Structure 1
Amino acid sequence: MRDRARPTLPTAAVPAVAQLSVRCVTKSYGTRTLLDQVSFTVRPGEKAAVIGENGSGKSTLLRLLAAAEAPDAGEVTVRFPGGTGHLAQTLDLDADRTVQDAVDLALAELRDMERRLRAAEASLADASEEQLMAYGDLLTAYEERGGYEADARVDRTRPGRGPPGGARGVPGGGGRGLARPGLPCTLRSRAPGTARRPKALTRPAPAPTCDTLGSAVSRPSAPTSGDRVLRGPLEPCLARRMNFLMTASGLRNETLRDALRDMLGKPFGSANVVYVPTASVAEPGDHGWLVADMNRLYGLGWREFDVLELNGLPPRLVLDRLLHADVIYVAGGSHYHLARSITGNGLADGLLKALESRVYVGFSAGSMIFSRHLTAHSADVIGDTADLHVLGATTVEPPFGLFDWYLKPHLYSPDFPERDDAWADRIAERADFPVYFIDDETAVRVRDGELDVVTEGRWRFHP
């Protein structure tokens, strides 16, 4: 599990969050009442199934949620950043059509978005600012609606119909689906409650390679004998302006501290930091490592050093405390407990909004929560399933899903002696997603849409 891992507060508007609620809803057809005074709420991140006998109103309820019909009485509130999708119980297809035809009809809107994205990507290098913004809007909508995962989910329900994640293409071109646009680090371009456009879109830049032994910042270099690095491409990100310094073990060296100073743009003595120890609460045993990390950070001489636990406080108070800081520093422990705390308290949207104008520093677990691959599947691949089960859980929802790669810290660490090259190789062999393995002297930095690695140590990237 151990992937460690003020009196006057400003008032800030809390961004709108995803919402699904039904209150006192009644729906009848003629003299037959199918739904009578139905009320329920589904919180962000939760999954719900509607179970009942034939004719009991299941499809009717879903049509109400999709706004395909209106209730006779009561109120239905459905608010999601990417809109809503509804697959009807019966489709308008001729009897001789195939299952693939039914799938393509259900995904018709996503297919249209895929074609438009392909067309836009072909001219990105010469695109105007307005065209870049339009591309960002379209990419956000496609991502929010689960476009990248749609075909993989279809494949999982059709055994024997080809390998998941197989060749994808634009319909009519010999394939289906859309691959991510060459970005191992794709940031969601908006938070709920903001305009559907990124603050900034960066054009692709030449990609550095993963050869960083002994260097402060990753740069292309010739292979060196004895390197424990699997070389591969490190490409730029598509992002709004967010700043992340995702470390394995905190600000342990001057190179990492200099990177934070540069991202912050002012001395530590002129800035406020908030330290979030939530992940550590689920970590058993001695917590001397947490005290040492907190003391190391405190010793940098901040104007104000706040400590904030995410659980047990009203969400508005938590967000106000986060907004009061210039640097949000999230410590290590259980990344699953941290992720569940964020989603369970409805903090994801507010935290994303805060990060548009603040620097985020992660320490181990705090660095792992932004991947879209923070799931039960990745827990099985990485070997962390027991850490999830100890929390009494079998699944986990990624609170943000910003990055298309996964970060695994503490490579070559004396605290985790099993994390050597053989360990990384075993994970890379099983992983169907990109993985960064970083040692305790290294951080992955995302700054204004560009990704690089800051290090005085060693790291590996498996695409």
Structure 2
Amino acid sequence: MKALLTSAGIKNRTIENALVDLLGKPIAESDALIIPTAIYPFPGGPALAYRAVSGQGRFRLAELGWKSLGILELTALSTIDEQAWVPTVREADALLFWGGDPMFLAGWMHRSGLADLLPTLSSDSVYVGVSAGAMAAAPTFVETYTEPPRGVDRPSKSEQVVFATPDGDVDRLLVTAQGVGLVDFAVIPHLDHPDHPDASLANAEKWAAHIPHPTYAIDDNSAVVVNNGKPQVVSEGHWKLFHS
């Protein structure tokens, strides 16, 4: 399976060209499924999920002009016969994983059975991750929380860490969690974004030190492309690779 791991979706022409190259055909000839599950732990999650699937979200993904677009809701899959959804996943050209809480997303990917299905999909299938969707593809990732996360069941460890931000130091719970291991590296999104004040380069280096794999810190104009198992960054912005 191929992968396009982004911080903010199809933000620019360079990332869009990378997506088309992975698909091997125009987006208008490609079938996709969007997975909004990660957004539900956030306040207003249902409305945010609607905006994502209707193409009104913050990041370009659903509105790219797909030949067809369906919704795959992971929290429902364990109650549905596999024959009702597995063939649809296998037939999709792209799986679009929306942002939100990466621990919640990774937990439901495992619980639903999708994590076990992904490695068996066609080598032409494309995993497209936005923010949390990109993070959950890793074997291990880290995320910060103001309080212990709820609604997750994957093994993790946590510690209190102080991070410097432009508005002063902040005390956060740094959680190390298990992803689905689709790729052999990790992603830290939103590098140096003003709406993510703790995602500075210095703090990303601290986070990466807790991850036993190479870690790409990427800004919203960058993405990591995986084709034939090899990662490559495409960017109109800036990024940094940290080695474990």
TM-score grouping bracket, smaller chain normalisation = 0.7 to 0.9
Q: Secondary structure at the match of 1:282?
A: coil
- Distance in 2 (alpha carbons) for counterparts of 1:330 and 1:315: 22
1:363 and 2:123 equivalent? no
Q: 1:258-273 to 2 correspondence within 5 Å? A: 258-273=17-32
* C-alpha separation in 1, matches of 2:11 and 2:117: 29
> Residue in 2 aligned with 1:462?
242
For residues 413 and 294 of structure 1, the distance between their equivalents in structure 2, rounded to whole angstroms, comes to 14
Identity of aligned residues (%): 34
Query: 2: CA distance between counterparts of 1:441 and 1:258?
Result: 13
Given residue 351 of structure 1, which amino acid in structure 2 is its aligned partner? Answer: L
**Unmatched runs of 5 consecutive residues or more in structure 2:** 157-176
Partner of 1:273: helix, strand, or coil?
strand
Equivalent residues in 2 for 1:304-453, closer than 5 Å: 304-313=68-77, 314=80, 316=82, 317-374=84-141, 379=142, 382-384=143-145, 386=147, 389-391=149-151, 393=153, 395-396=155-156, 398=178, 400-453=180-233
| Root-mean-square deviation over aligned CA pairs | 2.6
Deviations 1:363-389 (A, max 9, x none): 111111222224xxxx4xx544845x3
CA distance in 2 between partners of 1:440 and 1:296 (Å): 11
Q: CA deviation at 1:360?
A: 1.2
8 Å contact from structure 2 (residues 38, 105) kept in 1:
yes
> Residue 274 of structure 1 aligns to a residue in which SS?
strand
* CA–CA separation in structure 1 for the residues paired with 2:209 and 2:110: 31
Residues 168-187 of structure 1: per-residue CA shift (max 9 Å, x gap): xxxxxxxxxxxxxxxxxxxx
What is the CA-CA distance between 1:407 and the residue it aligns to?
1.0
Q: Distance in 2 between matches of 1:339 and 1:323?
A: 20
| Large movers: runs of 4+ above 6 Å | none
Larger strand share, 1 or 2: 2
Aligned residue among 26, 35, 47 for 1:276: 35
Q: Report deviation, 1:267.
A: 1.3
Do 2:103 and 2:154's aligned partners in 1 also have CA atoms closer than 8 Å?
Answer: no
TM-score normalised to the size of structure 1? Answer: 0.43
- Cα distance change on mapping 1:251 and 1:429 into 2, 3 Å: same
Query: What's the CA shift for 1:344?
Result: 1.2
Structure 1 residues 372 and 299: CA distance shift in structure 2, 3 A:
closer
Aligned to 2:162: none
> Number of paired residues?
215
Distance, in Å, in 2 between the alignment partners of 1:264 and 1:435 is: 25
CA deviations over 1:65-106 (Å, ceiling 9, x no partner): xxxxxxxxxxxxxxxxxxxxxxxxxxxxxxxxxxxxxxxxxx
Task: Give the greater-gyration-radius structure (CA).
Answer: 1
Deviation at 1:301, TM superposition (A): 1.8
What residue ranges of structure 1 are gaps of 5+ in the alignment? 1-241
**1 CA distance for matches of 2:135 and 2:127?**
12
Scaled by the length of structure 2, the TM-score of the pair is 0.77
Q: Which has the higher contact order (CA 8 A, sep 6+)?
A: 2
- Judged with a 3 Å threshold, the aligned counterparts in structure 2 of structure 1 residues 293 and 258 are, in CA distance, closer, same or farther, namely farther
Q: Using a 3 Å threshold, how does the CA distance of structure 1 residues 395 and 315 change in structure 2: closer, same or farther?
A: farther
